[in-house]
Structure 1
């Protein structure tokens, strides 16, 4: 892989994806609307387009070719169809960022075969008209059923990191440090996570291997919300206040009602060595706690 186009490389683990590519000497083209600044300077080429408008994508990328295209920002069948048409002659391999959510609410560990995008019925619609879960299902279905190039769909659980703009981990840190109630339906429920650094690295690894089909990616190990809160309690020297009474203000963004886990056995079989959750999660929590201590009280 000598050249790569990245759709969505200015936020969260998209930045880690770009950093990993650059560290390997890949010539990176960053596709953006120009609304989010980045700190890559002249190390990347930038092109400006509207990801969901076919004419914009086609006109901006006409005649261009890349060894691999990474798509961090496809959330619907419409977006996938735009890419299939626009990049028909632009690449031989495509890496789509997908999600554990495609499996739905299975009360068992999720394996790749538990959702089959090759047979899933396609219903063409835009992102605003469907849920996140259905949008990602539809996106996978379009790519695997319609794309003339090979495709990898990387299914991530919740990604954690300092650059997480959703502030899901920060939500829990703030609640515990301020001794505010957290609403959780099942505090013993187990979950998988992956760090933003590993997410970026894994996407690049998939491109290097030219893996085809869906593949799960998560750090080794699971953790319950109870134990996650315990890490925060230790770092903050505070006690978590939890309740099963959920409100708009207290509901945990990790508040699943049963264990929600995935297997990374397929990727491990193909040679990827995942980190253990315990290797990075405690230090990340400590960083969030220290950051919160620096915030002035209002």
Structure 2
């Protein structure tokens, strides 16, 4: 049995991750600001992960085999975590994103080694895009000397209960007969279902590899293919959540070689669409 701390983990696939680890028999501690109660059977600590003093107070006297950080968005977050958790855990897993590949030229599918990580922690956090914040956070934690580090670069996550409302956007508009905005040449993206990414993160927490790893289901979708799985869309020129002008596809070969078996997008998409309809 392992002592595992999940930072965040209050909703969506983070909550599923906590339940997954708990149901495997691990001792799970959830650390967040306390905006919602964690699942039953886990320890709950309250602190703002960006407040170093509060974080140290909440964790006083505690050590962990693994930390899974669901809400590390900036190099400042990462630097705080590095200082607080060095010597407090043997393994640190950060949930990163396919968005780290956003500024690469050319097309995917991108492998992990396609991306270079910076050597510095600047510029200031408030000047960073989401993907660049994650890229620099990976770099900061990767330089830690007190624990082994892995970064899970997640594909776009689809699930019926997605609090971001991205899939719901399409379901609601198509149900109302409203047009869907698409760019001139929508590009494909990799996706993963919320249960699968939770299972992958739990698997990564208990594994031994280090470094970045891509997590995505087999197969890709562009916005038109996604909409076709929902109904009969009417398109207009414009923007919508999954209408991408750049390629967001990833190669999951490293994770597959390490032993994780991914599903195919077509196997779970109809079920996710059904769940999304029930939630809107």
Q: Given the two structures, how large is their TM-score scaled by the length of structure 2? A: 0.94
Instruction: Kindly report which structure 2 residues correspond to 1:38-117, keeping only aligned pairs within 5 A, or say none.
Output: 38=38, 40-41=39-40, 43-106=41-104, 107-117=107-117
Corresponding residue for residue 180 of structure 1: 178
User: Compared with structure 1, are the counterparts of its residues 134 and 191 closer, same or farther at alpha carbon in structure 2 (3 Å cutoff)?
Assistant: same
User: Compared with structure 1, are the counterparts of its residues 157 and 186 closer, same or farther at alpha carbon in structure 2 (3 Å cutoff)?
Assistant: farther
Separation of aligned partners in 2, 1:276 and 1:97: 21
Separation of aligned partners in 2, 1:141 and 1:210: 19
**Residue-by-residue CA offset, 1:161-208 (whole Å, 9 max, x unaligned):** 122110100001111111112211146522110011111110111122
Aligned length: 278
Corresponding residue for residue 2 of structure 2: 2
Please tell me whether Structure 1 or Structure 2 has the larger radius of gyration of its CA atoms: 1
User: Which segments of structure 1 move beyond 6 Å, counting only runs of 4 or more?
Assistant: none
**Residue-by-residue CA offset, 1:91-131 (whole Å, 9 max, x unaligned):** 000010001111124422110001133xx132246644421
3-state SS of paired residue (1:68) = strand
Separation of aligned partners in 2, 1:173 and 1:105: 29
Corresponding residue for residue 236 of structure 2: 243
Offset at residue 31 of structure 1 (A): 0.4
Separation of aligned partners in 1, 2:22 and 2:124: 33
Gap regions ≥5 residues in structure 2: none
User: Compared with structure 1, are the counterparts of its residues 190 and 90 closer, same or farther at alpha carbon in structure 2 (3 Å cutoff)?
Assistant: same
Offset at residue 147 of structure 1 (A): 4.2
- Does the 8 Å contact 1:7/1:70 carry over to 2? yes
Corresponding residue for residue 36 of structure 1: 36
Separation of aligned partners in 1, 2:128 and 2:258: 34
Q: Output the aligned Cα RMSD.
A: 1.6
Offset at residue 2 of structure 1 (A): 1.3
Gap regions ≥5 residues in structure 1: 234-238, 293-298
**Residue-by-residue CA offset, 1:200-231 (whole Å, 9 max, x unaligned):** 11011112212100000001111222121111
